[in-house]
């Protein structure tokens, strides 16, 4: 199994706004070319200066856990075997004010805690249409 | 002179465990509206507006036909979320009545999750999810409970709040529901041991931190104070309403500066300013509790206490019964009475002003509803004796 929640579990529908994050093999966040603000999730306009000149920037993929919720009850039948699993919010060291959502892969869910240091890892699999390769950012406690 | 609007009538269907309603959702909606009109003493044919929120399936044209409405002049619903807009539905009715666009506006909510599927369940049947869900669903972040759990966990961590504070919210709802024969949880008391022994849904939420799923409908009739003087029922004046649009929605709510918050400081500021009163003046409060954790956050953000005081604020039965230090969710709320997307809380708030609650507090002059922490936009409503 290459994916933490199961190889058949839901994939992101790729778009111009999420393709860099889900395919680059880096934790990329959106940056405004005019004012330099970072934003996540990406959007079609900068929430700070309203510029539409936006691009993506790679981060170091290192950060800290801002919050954790351990899911015990599957809300979809396909997740039954994956429970319990930890959903985390991770703030990125070199992308101030920005955080991303993920799972922790190398600890039992009960051992995941706010404040822990984490490093990105990636789940590689084909996109749903088979046209592209996904590298889905995930997290390991260091 | 600006008109004053009132809630002139309240009504509901019977409330049921999900899937156990003998009536369809549309029939439940019609029953609640008929009961509210009957309570107000307003003929169904004189209703001229319908207001609801969040993808209400029972559309105003079908209702108008079924209820014999002659002249429908105002039909709107709110954006986004879920129970966050229960108070805002009343606000839109208030706006219509005060501006003179309509005179007898029904605000309502009906849901039959047995008939139409469950909110807490993922609707994703396909292999991919797009838009904001693309950032969450691949990681198994799918339900409101899970999102509220992430905010609650951070709030608890930052302010040293224990599981007991969450338990206290649930215990208060269950205790108050034991006085309310309408409540789905009537006759099913909860104690602290049973709470802690219940299974985790998503930490930090046990089973009893989560409201059940129910079938039912509730409604109020909003009209002018002037017209209400000729009606049979006891009106509750709409002193103030507020809707607050924080930047919190979807996955953007998890950015470091927003996590652990519910944006009720915005709602509270507008509400208190408009009403000319403050949290200390409130006699009885109904707080939307799809899950217990967001109640703690919104209590603080609405100005009732500080985050490091909230555990003590809710402890030792402080929220339970008619003589509570802080009378709270007196019908049992979403958790104890029924999950009608928080609209049952509006009905209960009006009953407190009328002196007709099953957990009636003495001399209720100011009755508060805080709708739906957990999703923006939030809303709140303050009712007063006329
Ligand atoms: Zn900018």
d(CA B307, CA B304): 10
Query: Looking at the complex, does the CB of residue B245 fall below 8 Å from at least one CB of chain A?
Result: no
Dihedral sign of CA atoms B29, B35, B39, B40 in order? positive
Q: Give the tokens for residue A70.
A: 């351990």
CATH number of B5-117+211-384: 3.40.47.10
Q: Which of B34, B205, B6 is nearest to B120 (CA)?
A: B205
Q: Give the tokens for residue A30.
A: 């959106």
> Tens of pLDDT along B196-227?
999 999 999 999 999 998 999 999 999 999 99
Alpha-carbon distances, residue B110 vs B53, B77, B121, B122, B133 (angstroms): 10, 13, 19, 21, 26
| Cβ–Cβ gap B141/A75 under 8 Å | no
The domain limits of chain A are 19-141
At residue B3 the predicted structure's pLDDT band, cuts being 50, 70 and 90, is: confident
Q: Which of B119, B135, B140, B148 to probe by mutation at the A interface, max A CB count within 10 Å?
A: B140
Q: Give the tokens for residue B184.
A: 């789905």
d(CA B161, CA B155): 8
User: Is residue A126 predicted with pLDDT exceeding 70?
Assistant: yes
- Which of the 8 DSSP states describes residue B210? B
At residue B16 the predicted structure's pLDDT band, cuts being 50, 70 and 90, is: very high
Q: Where are the beta strands (DSSP E) in A1-98?
A: 11-12, 28-32, 38-39, 54-58, 62-71, 85-92
At residue B250 the predicted structure's pLDDT band, cuts being 50, 70 and 90, is: confident
CA B168 to chain CA centroid, Å, is 19
Q: Identify the pLDDT of residue B123.
A: 47
Q: Identify the pLDDT of residue B248.
A: 61
Q: Identify the pLDDT of residue B80.
A: 73
Q: Which of A11, A98, A103 sits opposite B140 (nearest CB)?
A: A103
Q: Identify the pLDDT of residue B121.
A: 54
Instruction: List the single range of A94-103, A113-122, B257-266 with lowest mean pLDDT.
Output: B257-266
Query: Looking at the complex, does the CB of residue B203 fall below 8 Å from at least one CB of chain A?
Result: yes
Q: Identify the pLDDT of residue B166.
A: 98
Report the largest interatomic distance among the alpha carbons of chain B, rounded to a whole angstrom.
Answer: 59
> Tens of pLDDT along B293-331?
999 999 999 999 999 999 999 999 999 999 999 999 999
Query: Looking at the complex, does the CB of residue B122 fall below 8 Å from at least one CB of chain A?
Result: yes
d(CA B165, CA B293): 8
> Tens of pLDDT along A49-108?
999 999 999 999 999 999 999 999 999 999 999 999 999 999 999 999 999 999 999 999
User: Is residue B119 predicted with pLDDT exceeding 60?
Assistant: no
- Is the Cβ–Cβ distance between B271 and B367 less than 8 Å? no
| Cβ–Cβ gap A97/B200 under 8 Å | no
d(CA B113, CA B104): 29
Q: Identify the pLDDT of residue B204.
A: 98
User: Is residue B98 predicted with pLDDT exceeding 70?
Assistant: yes
- Which of the 8 DSSP states describes residue B328? B
Query: Looking at the complex, does the CB of residue A35 fall below 8 Å from at least one CB of chain B?
Result: no
Q: Which of A66, A87, A114 sits opposite B141 (nearest CB)?
A: A87
Q: Which residues of B touch A102 (CB under 8 A)?
A: 139
3-class DSSP assignment, residue A21: helix
User: Is residue B264 predicted with pLDDT exceeding 50?
Assistant: yes
> Look-up: residue for tokens 């950060």?
A63
* Residue burial B309-327, b: 16+ Cβ < 10 Å; e: rest: ebbebbeeeebbbbebebb
> Look-up: residue for tokens 């409540």?
B183
Residues in chain A: 142
- Is the Cβ–Cβ distance between B303 and B326 less than 8 Å? no
Separation of A54 CA from ligand 1 center, angstroms? 8
Q: What are phi and psi of A140, to 5 degrees?
A: -125, 135
The domain limits of chain B are 5-117+211-384
3-class DSSP assignment, residue A61: coil
User: Is residue A21 predicted with pLDDT exceeding 60?
Assistant: yes
Verify whether residue B288 is a known catalytic residue: yes
At residue B120 the predicted structure's pLDDT band, cuts being 50, 70 and 90, is: low
> Tens of pLDDT along B236-245?
999 999 998 7
Q: Which residues of A touch B153 (CB under 8 A)?
A: 67-69, 114
Interface A-B: count of C-beta contacts within 8 A: 127
Q: Give the tokens for residue A140.
A: 């390991």
At residue B124 the predicted structure's pLDDT band, cuts being 50, 70 and 90, is: very low
Query: Looking at the complex, does the CB of residue A63 fall below 8 Å from at least one CB of chain B?
Result: no
| Cβ–Cβ gap A69/B259 under 8 Å | no
- Is the Cβ–Cβ distance between B32 and B254 less than 8 Å? no
- Is the Cβ–Cβ distance between B201 and B210 less than 8 Å? yes
DSSP codes joined into one string, B246-264:
-S--GGGGGSTTTTT---H
d(CA B139, CA B133): 10
| Cβ–Cβ gap A87/B137 under 8 Å | no
Query: Looking at the complex, does the CB of residue B171 fall below 8 Å from at least one CB of chain A?
Result: no
Q: Which of B149, B199, B260 sits opposite A69 (nearest CB)?
A: B149
d(CA B76, CA B99): 15
């Amino acid at each position: 199994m290459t994916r933490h929640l199961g190889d058949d579990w839901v994939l992101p529908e790729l778009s111009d706004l999420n393709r860099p994050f889900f395919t680059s093999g880096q934790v990329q966040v959106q940056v405004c070319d005019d004012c330099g603000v970072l934003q996540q999730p990406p959007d079609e306009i900068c929430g700070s200066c309203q510029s539409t000149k936006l691009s993506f920037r790679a981060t170091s993929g290192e950060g800290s856990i801002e919050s954790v919720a351990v899911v015990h009850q599957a809300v979809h039948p396909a997740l039954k075997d994956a429970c319990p699993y930890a959903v985390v919010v991770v703030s990125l060291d070199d992308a101030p004010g920005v955080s991303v959502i993920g799972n922790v892969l190398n600890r039992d869910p009960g051992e995941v805690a706010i404040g822990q240091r984490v490093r990105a890892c990636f789940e590689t699999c084909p996109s749903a249409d088979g046209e592209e390769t996904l590298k889905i950012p995930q997290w390991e406690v260091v | 002179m600006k008109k004053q609007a009132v809630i002139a009538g309240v009504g509901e269907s019977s409330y049921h465990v999900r899937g156990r309603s003998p009536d369809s959702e549309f029939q439940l909606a019609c029953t609640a509206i008929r009961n509210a009109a009957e309570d107000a003493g307003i003929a169904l044919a004189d209703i001229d507006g319908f207001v609801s929120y969040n993808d209400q399936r029972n559309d105003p044209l079908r209702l108008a036909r079924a209820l014999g409405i002659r002249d429908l002049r105002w039909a709107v619903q709110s954006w986004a979320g879920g129970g966050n807009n229960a108070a805002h539905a009343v606000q839109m009715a208030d706006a219509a009545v005060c501006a003179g666009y309509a005179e007898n506006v029904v605000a309502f909510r009906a849901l039959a999750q047995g008939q139409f599927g469950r909110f807490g369940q993922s609707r994703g049947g396909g292999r991919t999810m797009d838009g904001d869900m693309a950032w969450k669903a691949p990681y198994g972040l799918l339900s409101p409970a899970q999102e509220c759990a992430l905010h609650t966990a951070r709030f608890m961590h930052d302010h040293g709040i224990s599981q007991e504070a969450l338990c206290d919210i649930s215990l208060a709802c269950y205790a108050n529901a034991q006085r309310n024969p309408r409540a789905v949880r009537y006759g099913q008391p909860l104690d602290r041991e049973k709470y802690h022994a219940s299974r985790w849904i998503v930490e930090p939420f046990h089973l009893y931190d989560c409201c059940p799923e129910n079938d039912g409908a509730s409604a109020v009739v909003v009209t002018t104070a002037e017209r209400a003087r000729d009606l049979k029922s006891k009106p509750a004046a709409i002193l103030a309403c507020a809707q607050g649009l924080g930047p919190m929605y979807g996955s953007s709510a998890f950015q470091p500066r927003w996590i652990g918050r519910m944006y009720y400081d915005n709602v509270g500021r507008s509400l208190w300013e408009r009403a000319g009163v403050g949290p200390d003046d409130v006699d009885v409060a109904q707080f939307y509790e799809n899950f217990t954790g967001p109640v703690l956050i919104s209590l603080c953000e609405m100005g009732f206490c500080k985050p490091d005081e909230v555990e003590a604020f809710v402890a030792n039965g402080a929220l339970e019964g008619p003589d509570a230090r802080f009378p709270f969710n007196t019908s049992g709320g979403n958790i104890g009475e029924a999950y009608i997307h928080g609209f049952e809380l509006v009905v209960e708030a009006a009953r407190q002003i009328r002196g007709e609650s099953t957990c009636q507090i003495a001399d209720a002059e100011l009755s508060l509803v805080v709708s739906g922490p957990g999703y923006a936009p939030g809303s709140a409503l303050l009712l007063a004796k006329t």
